């Protein structure tokens, strides 16, 4: 099939590449000319495991191309995806300006019936707005053409996006139109072979499904952070508690890790946007508001532990801190809403310097922070410990951070202390090496 995709970010680029990989003809459109030019020359703008070779192979085969020419892309596709950003507005609701701009572009240029697919995460009711924007442009041109707007939210996880896209848990399709659903079934058939993963429903339910999924996941994280904070105060270890509850299949092992707060481009904005949607329907979502408030507080927790260790923020002035991790989670270079950003601001404000290492997010951090005297972005993890450093903070749970040489750390860290924002280490082992240990919800460290 011929597919056009608006937006070559995490979702658009991965979706386009995976659709090309299974044999569809795909054109990806972006308004960012530099990004498109880069992609046409083999420069992949994001880090995702497995993505680069797949983009290059499909581009070389001619099944995947990149353009800034929206009219050309609309003429090409039988199915047109909208996969542009939906950042939070000032009041926390989803900003639909990019989605609706694409809808108007489609209305301006379409010349034959189309299936338009909302893949961006959009509030309930957006498919109607997209349809209205397309119809308005068609009316201006005095053209009548049939089109369907389908909701097909994306569930891929950054860091495993290609894998998730090639082997989805479920494919949610919201549409009242049998013919549009048939088109979507045909498009996704290669991903739907060994059992039926397709869940079809009405548009509004599909739109809400995406928010419900992210809100549930964010709730699990905030719940565990809340338990961790209680554990810390009552002298319990959340890691024991986690194992004690995860064994109940109704609770399960996944997503019950306490930490330094959730970040990324999705959970923070989607929880807020859903609360905002509820408020627009005059419903105050007590739970969603609490999930967000707990997370906001949690992002400051590592710094709080540092204050406790040092007896106040003032003692951090002039310290040099080694920071392992910058990305909001492992296997990505994405630093949007990352907890590391809050910690860095707090450390800088306290007058500390940071030597940071992240296996993938170095460039992104350089882009965000530029050159500053109080931040050294290191190419190697070992460089964070060179040249005099006082304490270590781990904030992203990259696999390579799991088994450090504690002996060597005890030698290098002047203040002999580790702040473990993801509970990667066994406190007893760390302490046996002569280091102080602070983790999340580890009552022993009170």
**Catalytic residues, which ones?**
266
The answer on whether 387 is annotated among ligand-binding residues is: no
Q: Which stretch binds ligand NAD (CB under 6 A): 30-38, 51-59, 286-294, 349-357?
A: 30-38
Interface residue with ligand NAD, options 39, 65, 67, 85 (CB under 6 A): 85
How far out from the chain centre does Cα 334 lie? 7
Q: Does 107 bind ligand NAD (CB under 6 A)?
A: no
Q: Does 110 bind ligand NAD (CB under 6 A)?
A: no
Are 334 and 325 in contact, with CB atoms under 8 Å apart? no
Residue 13 three-state SS = helix
Distance CA 175, CA 182 (A): 10
Q: Does 72 bind ligand NAD (CB under 6 A)?
A: no
Distance CA 138, CA 388 (A): 66
Least distance between ligand NAD and beta carbon 118 (Å): 9
The answer on whether 86 is annotated among ligand-binding residues is: yes
The answer on whether 255 is annotated among ligand-binding residues is: yes
Residue 362 three-state SS = helix
Is the CB of 168 or the CB of 258 nearer to ligand NAD?
168
Q: Does 120 bind ligand NAD (CB under 6 A)?
A: yes
Are 251 and 245 in contact, with CB atoms under 8 Å apart? yes
* Residue 25 structure tokens: 């003809």
Q: Does 83 bind ligand NAD (CB under 6 A)?
A: yes
What count of residues does the chain have?
446
Least distance between ligand NAD and beta carbon 13 (Å): 7
Is the CB of 208 or the CB of 266 nearer to ligand NAD?
266
Distance CA 390, CA 400 (A): 21
Q: Does 332 bind ligand NAD (CB under 6 A)?
A: no
- What are the DSSP calls for 176-236, one per residue? S-HHHHHHHHHHHGGGSSSS--EEEE-HHHHHHHHHHHHHHHHHHHHHHHHHHHHHHHHT-
The overall longest dimension of the chain from CA atoms, in Å, is 78
Q: Which of 308, 222, 303 is nearest to 259 (CA)?
A: 222
Is the CB of 84 or the CB of 217 nearer to ligand NAD?
84
* Residue 131 structure tokens: 């349809």
Residue 441 three-state SS = coil
Q: Which stretch binds ligand NAD (CB under 6 A): 25-33, 48-56, 59-67, 367-375?
A: 25-33
The answer on whether 15 is annotated among ligand-binding residues is: no
Residue 175 three-state SS = coil
Whose tokens are 């072979």? That residue is 193
Distance CA 43, CA 147 (A): 34
Q: Which of residues 243-302 bind ligand NAD (CB under 6 A)?
A: 265-266
Is the CB of 9 or the CB of 50 nearer to ligand NAD?
9
Rounded to whole angstroms, what are the CA distances from 252 to 31, 184, 237, 242, 243? 42, 33, 19, 10, 10
Is the CB of 10 or the CB of 398 nearer to ligand NAD?
10
Least distance between ligand NAD and beta carbon 133 (Å): 12
Q: Which stretch binds ligand NAD (CB under 6 A): 79-87, 138-146, 187-195, 216-224?
A: 79-87
* Residue 419 structure tokens: 């702040």
How far out from the chain centre does Cα 14 lie? 14
C-alpha dihedral sign at 152, 157, 162, 164: negative
Least distance between ligand NAD and beta carbon 98 (Å): 4
Is the CB of 398 or the CB of 438 nearer to ligand NAD?
398
Cite the beta strand spans of 128-186 per DSSP E.
147-151, 171-174
How far out from the chain centre does Cα 22 lie? 25
Q: Does 35 bind ligand NAD (CB under 6 A)?
A: yes
Q: Does 158 bind ligand NAD (CB under 6 A)?
A: yes
Least distance between ligand NAD and beta carbon 97 (Å): 9
Least distance between ligand NAD and beta carbon 333 (Å): 11
Interface residue with ligand NAD, options 38, 98, 285, 362 (CB under 6 A): 98
Are 173 and 184 in contact, with CB atoms under 8 Å apart? yes
Q: How open is the CA angle 367-400-259, to the nearest 5 degrees?
A: 75
Q: Which of residues 354-383 bind ligand NAD (CB under 6 A)?
A: none
Is the CB of 85 or the CB of 107 nearer to ligand NAD?
85
Annotated binding site for substrate: 155-158, 210, 255-259, 263, 329
Annotated binding site: 30, 35, 86, 121, 155-158, 210, 255-259, 263, 269, 329, 336
Chain contacts with ligand NAD (rule: CB under 6 A): 6-12, 29-32, 35, 83-86, 98, 101-102, 120-121, 154, 156, 158, 265-266
């Amino acid at each position: 099939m011929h597919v056009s995709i608006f937006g070559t970010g995490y979702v658009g680029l991965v979706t386009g590449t995976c659709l090309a990989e299974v044999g569809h003809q795909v054109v990806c459109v972006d308004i960012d000319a530099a990004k498109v030019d880069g992609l046409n020359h083999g420069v992949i703008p994001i880090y995702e495991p497995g993505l680069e070779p797949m983009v290059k192979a499909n581009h070389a085969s001619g099944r995947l191309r990149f353009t800034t020419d929206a009219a050309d892309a609309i003429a090409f596709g039988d199915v047109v995806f909208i996969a542009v950003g939906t950042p939070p507005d000032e009041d926390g609701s989803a900003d639909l300006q990019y989605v609706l701009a694409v809808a108007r572009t489609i209305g301006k240029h379409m010349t034959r019936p189309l299936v338009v697919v909302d893949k961006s995460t959009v509030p309930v009711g957006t498919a109607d707005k997209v349809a209205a924007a397309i119809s308005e442009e068609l009316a201006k041109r005095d053209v009548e053409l049939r089109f369907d707007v389908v909701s097909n939210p994306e569930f891929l996880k950054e860091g495993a996006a290609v894998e998730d896209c090639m082997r989805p848990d479920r494919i949610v399709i919201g549409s009242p139109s049998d013919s549009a659903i048939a088109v979507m079934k045909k498009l996704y058939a290669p991903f739907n072979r060994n059992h039926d993963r397709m869940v079809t429903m009405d548009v509004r339910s599909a739109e809400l499904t995406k928010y419900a999924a992210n809100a549930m996941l964010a709730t699990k994280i905030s719940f565990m952070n809340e338990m961790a904070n209680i554990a810390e105060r009552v002298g319990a270890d959340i890691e024991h508690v986690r194992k004690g509850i995860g064994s109940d299949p109704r609770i399960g092992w996944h997503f019950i890790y306490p930490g330094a707060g959730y970040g990324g481009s999705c959970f923070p904005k989607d929880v807020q946007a859903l609360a905002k949607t509820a408020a627009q329907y005059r419903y105050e979502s007590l739970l969603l508001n609490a999930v967000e408030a707990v997370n906001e507080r949690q992002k400051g927790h590592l710094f709080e532990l540092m204050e406790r260790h040092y007896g106040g923020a003032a003692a951090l002035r002039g310290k040099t801190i080694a920071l392992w991790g910058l990305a909001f989670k492992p296997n990505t270079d994405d630093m949007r809403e990352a907890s590391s950003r809050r910690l860095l601001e707090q450390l800088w404000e306290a007058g500390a310097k940071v030597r940071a290492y992240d296996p993938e997010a170095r460039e992104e951090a350089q882009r965000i922070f530029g050159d500053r005297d109080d931040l050294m972005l290191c190419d190697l993890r070992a460089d964070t410990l060179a040249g005099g450093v006082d304490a270590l903070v781990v904030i992203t749970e990259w696999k390579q951070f799991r088994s450090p040489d504690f002996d060597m750390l005890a030698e290098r860290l002047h203040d002999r202390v580790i702040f473990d924002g993801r509970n990667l280490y066994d406190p007893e082992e760390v302490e046996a090496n002569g280091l102080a240990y602070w983790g999340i919800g580890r009552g022993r460290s009170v």
